[in-house]
Amino acid sequence: MPSADEILQKMRTLQERREAAAGPLVEVLAKRSSLLEQLAALDEPYGKAYADAEAAGWTAEELVTLGADEPVKRPRVRAKRSRAAAKKTDGQMPQAVAEGGSPAGTIPAREGSSLAAAAGVSSTSL
């Protein structure tokens, strides 16, 4: 049977081989991580350039033919409210909200509601 020192020496030898084998992997992982960060930094400008090309009249099919894949991230476009939506609200808030109250105060209570009972409203008066 091997001694404790012999067992420890074999273990160290195995561990050194494992560490040596992992060295190149660690180096490649560091380079890969750096390249992925650089690529991620290009996503937004690429998306903007792609959207600009489409706005100038290029179709997605034409851009693919040129070698430009559809971007992962597209630039954010601010949504414009339609005139119909603006007319519906007419820029006014409900009276309760305008006075600092809750809009829930303007909602009628359901029959048998405990809130209606607490407010002193009977279910027959609803």
The answer to whether the CB of 75 falls within 8 A of the CB of 85 is no
The DSSP element (H or E) to which 114 belongs, if any, is helix 114-118
The DSSP element (H or E) to which 44 belongs, if any, is helix 4-55
CB atoms within 10 A of CB 99: 9
What is the distance between the alpha carbons of residues 107 and 98, in angstroms, rounded to a whole number? 15
What is the distance between the alpha carbons of residues 19 and 35, in angstroms, rounded to a whole number? 24
For residue 109, the one-letter residue type is: A
pLDDT at 67: 96
Higher pLDDT, 8 or 75: 8
For residue 106, the one-letter residue type is: T
Q: Read off the pLDDT of residues 72-97 as tens digits, 9 standing for 90 and up.
A: 877 676 666 666 665 665 555 555 55
Tokens of 66: 């040129």
pTM of the model: 0.45
Question: Does 116 have pLDDT greater than 50?
Answer: no
Q: Read off the pLDDT of residues 25-67 as tens digits, 9 standing for 90 and up.
A: 999 999 999 999 999 999 999 999 999 999 999 999 999 999 9
| Lowest pLDDT segment from 10-19, 82-91, 107-116 | 107-116
User: Which residue has tokens 């600092």?
Assistant: 100
pLDDT at 29: 97
Q: What is the C-alpha end-to-end distance of the chain, expressed in Å?
A: 94
